[in-house]
Chain A
Amino acid sequence: MDFEAELLAVSTERTTRRAAIKKYPTLSVVIATARPSDLSNILLQLEVQTMKKFELLLGIHKFKMSAAHKSAIRRLQKRGISIITQDFSPAHTLGSVLTSMAKQSSGEYLAKMDDDDIYGSEHLRDLMDTAITTGADIVGKAMNYIYLEAIDLTVRRMGPTGIASVNQWDDWVCGGTILVKRSMAEAAGWFGEGKSAVDHFLLSGVKKNGGKIYRTYGLGYIYKRSIASQTYITNYSKYMRGTSGQRVGIWAHEEFGNI
């Protein structure tokens, strides 16, 4: 499927799903952030989400918010987003930050977003649409778009199988795109207390409890592979196998919210 066909497919699916939805359940968004610049970026992306109402739970890990961050948060609050922030010391793990914030959520659904990834404005609403219409316990996106900072390139990967395949019941979705029923997350022990593999903890926990996981299109989300700031180290060359598109820089399109 080429890019234009994917745009059309997502657009059609979006229209169909939204026609069937009368009211959205309540939604909470949980984010752990350890980098001031990434927090600024993710707040901007949250501000333009087409999902009208949601609750934001921000775990600030190892730094203090600046005046600019606070100003961005006030803008979100004016938009009708309720926000809870909490500072965490370096002694806390990524898992403990996420779990602690998730426990404070009140929404029927819980979305996890990663502060260094790229989200288009339809991201949250597309996930909610998919969760409502499929009845899945977890929905998330395929890894179709990956930005590789070391070569300043976004690769597009599509395929009938594996993590790039779409509209499938499976046991894996991109960690930065998890949308889970709060009750299922709670039963699974949220994100655990670990330093890494927090997404795997939740996904496997829900699966173990009999939950169903659905993976939708990756359009509107770019997984960012930064040079040396990941929570775990793997090589990025593996993302270059079988690419169906390559674009210098961050893939520019309104679906990714960058043009």
Chain B
Amino acid sequence: MRTSYRYSRPASLDIIKRPNLKVAVVIACRDGQDKLDLVLAALKEQTYPAALFTVYIIDDGSEKALVLPKIRPLKTKIIKFKNKDQAWGKTLATNYAVSTLKEDVLWFLDADMIVEPHHLAHHMKWHHNADDFVVLGWKRFVAEWSYSPELLTSELKAGAFASLHKTSEGKESWELLIKGTDELRKPGLESFRALVGATFSITRKNWNSLGGYNPVFTTGEDNELGWRALLAGLRFVPEREALSWHLGISTVEVHTDAVIAHNRPLFANHVPALSYLRANDQLTWAIAENYVVADCRNMPAESFKNMVNEFFADEKGQARFLLIGNWKALSARYKITGDSLKELREIKRWIAGDSRFTCEEAASEKKLLISEILKRFNEPSTPFFYYTEGAIDPVVRFGALRHRISKSGNGFEGVVDSKDQRTFIVYAPALGRANLAGGYAYRNIQELWGMRWHEISQFDFSKTLSSNNLIPLVGIAIRAAKRIRKPSDFTKLVKKTVHVLKKTISK
């Protein structure tokens, strides 16, 4: 079993002298042959053994078909992604191409990235250490460049990578996120943004288990993958020694408002952590923040309604429910005046028209074991899982459980009431890491993250989460404030802050 606690990892690693993992370098590209030629020239100078990596250039329907230049790594191939009406773009092109690859590790690189010769070696030292790392390369943006592939090659050979550009800029919000989370050793849910597509690597096994990029994202696909990777318990490592120059200022920086407007609805739907995007909208979101497994055997309909109404009061977070019961028995003949399944029948009738509920037939009369419950927490984009059963004590507030888990930092907090009924919450990244470790997930949550059970009278249900919703927003505002370069930026920030706060508080 893997034994690292939460996101702990070695302070640093040396480059592996005799590596053995094979790497697929995946570059999705549409036009831009000139930049691509430079990218390939830099890749040719990688110190990671050329026999262990293959570069796959995915031609995403370039107007002028991409060709392989003279200066390129030993093994470089072009995969043509034939564009059709509904099949085009980096996301689909990448998913398609990667599905054909067999290498151990996938390194995703943008087609405008000039990498330092040890860049790949610095990624790979982590993947040789453990198989649950997502390694993020370090990059600086440059507005101008004038070197040819030949000149770039000679500069790199001369060890002059650092002096290729005298002026450059970093992405400050990203760098602040890294710094503010102790180099992602202490990430919060908002840290999913750390995964950006310019240069990151992940094992093919983990890419496959995540299901690759979400196909509905034509941009922002990297961030959304980061959300699922974080919830799956993968460890993000920003590798400051994996240096690179990004040719050109990023699209997001240049067209900020247009990009944000384009991505906002999708992120609102798929990343519940961005709750401020959901404010004041009465829509049903694709991904709920909460997933509730409720054993409805012996659950009074009134308890059931109290429970769901608490979750439904959170219009931004929302919830989905898996209801366990002996539902099949409801089809048998019964009398209104002597209905032994009265409560269960009432529950079934209340939810009849609501797609947020799924019913599961109870396999036996026994209560579910904790391990059986944890196996049902299988919603890859949902950050919080809950279980409850029976005649839920009226004192129970699920928001208080959420508050407690946020405060304690544990991966699991549960209460047992005087009728021996269990109610608990699980933090998805903790469960993700527990599942990755193999063996008994319940024990892994305790040993690798932390857990606590409480007797119901000793649990403080008076506290809920509302004030905590603001904490990530404050962090974002501080990071944004540090990026102010001109007076208009300040005005913009103030307007935006007021807008977001209004929406958040209006909950």
**A interface list, Cβ under 8 A from B:** 150-153, 155, 227, 235-238, 240-243, 246-249
Contacts and interface: CB of A to CB of B under 8 A. Distances in A.
A248 B443 contact: yes
Contacts of B454: 240
Contacts of A151: 370, 414, 416, 422, 453
A241 B455 contact: yes
A235 B442 CA distance: 23
Contact of A152 (B442, B455, B458): B442
Which of B367, B419, B455 has the largest number of chain A CB atoms within 10 A?
B455
B456 interface: yes
9 contacts: A152-B371, A152-B442, A235-B419, A238-B455, A240-B453, A241-B455, A241-B458, A248-B447, A249-B440
A248 B450 CA distance: 11
A236 B458 contact: no
Contacts of A155: 453
B443 A237 contact: no
Given A151-B453, A241-B455, A248-B442, 9 more contacts: A151-B414, A151-B422, A152-B369, A227-B367, A235-B418, A237-B416, A246-B446, A246-B451, A248-B446
Which of A235, A236, A241, A248 has the most chain B CB atoms inside 10 A of its CB?
Answer: A248
A247 B446 contact: yes
Interface residues of B, number: 25
A90 to B, nearest CB: 23
A229 to B, nearest CB: 12
Given A151-B370, A151-B453, A237 B442 contact: no
A238 B457 CA distance: 10
Interface of B: 366-367, 369-371, 414, 416-420, 422, 440, 442-443, 446-447, 451-458
Nearest to B412: A248
A150 B371 CA distance: 11
Contacts of B453: 151, 153, 155, 240, 243, 246
B452 A235 contact: no
B446 A240 contact: no
B420 A236 contact: yes
B411 to A, nearest CB: 12
Contacts of A152: 369-371, 442
Nearest to A227: B367
Nearest to B452: A246
A226 to B, nearest CB: 12
Contacts of A235: 418-420
Given A151-B414, A235-B419, A240 B455 contact: yes
B420 A237 contact: yes
Contacts of A240: 416, 453-455, 458
Contacts of A238: 455
Contacts of A150: 367, 416, 420, 422
A235 B422 CA distance: 12
B420 A248 contact: no
A248 B453 CA distance: 10
Nearest to A246: B453
A155 B454 CA distance: 11
A248 B369 CA distance: 13
A243 B454 CA distance: 9
B455 A237 contact: yes
B426 to A, nearest CB: 13
A124 to B, nearest CB: 30
Contacts of A246: 446, 451-453
A248 B455 contact: no
A69 B369 CA distance: 29
Contacts of B442: 152, 248
Contact of A248 (B422, B440, B457): B440
A247 B445 CA distance: 11
B472 to A, nearest CB: 30
A175 to B, nearest CB: 21
Nearest to A247: B446
The 10 closest A-B pairs by CB, nearest first: A240-B455, A237-B416, A248-B443, A241-B455, A248-B446, A237-B455, A235-B420, A235-B418, A152-B370, A248-B442
Contact of B418 (A237, A243, A248): A237
B339 to A, nearest CB: 26
Contacts of B452: 246
A193 B452 CA distance: 41
A197 B416 CA distance: 26
B121 to A, nearest CB: 40
A248 B420 CA distance: 17
**Residue from A151, A242, A247 having most chain B Cβ neighbours under 10 A:** A151
A12 B420 CA distance: 38
Nearest to B454: A240
Contacts of A243: 453
A171 B121 CA distance: 69
A242 B458 CA distance: 9
B415 to A, nearest CB: 8
B62 to A, nearest CB: 55
A237 B456 contact: yes
Contacts of B422: 150-151
A40 to B, nearest CB: 22
A242 B443 CA distance: 21
Contacts of A242: 458
A95 to B, nearest CB: 26
A248 B414 CA distance: 13
B32 to A, nearest CB: 53
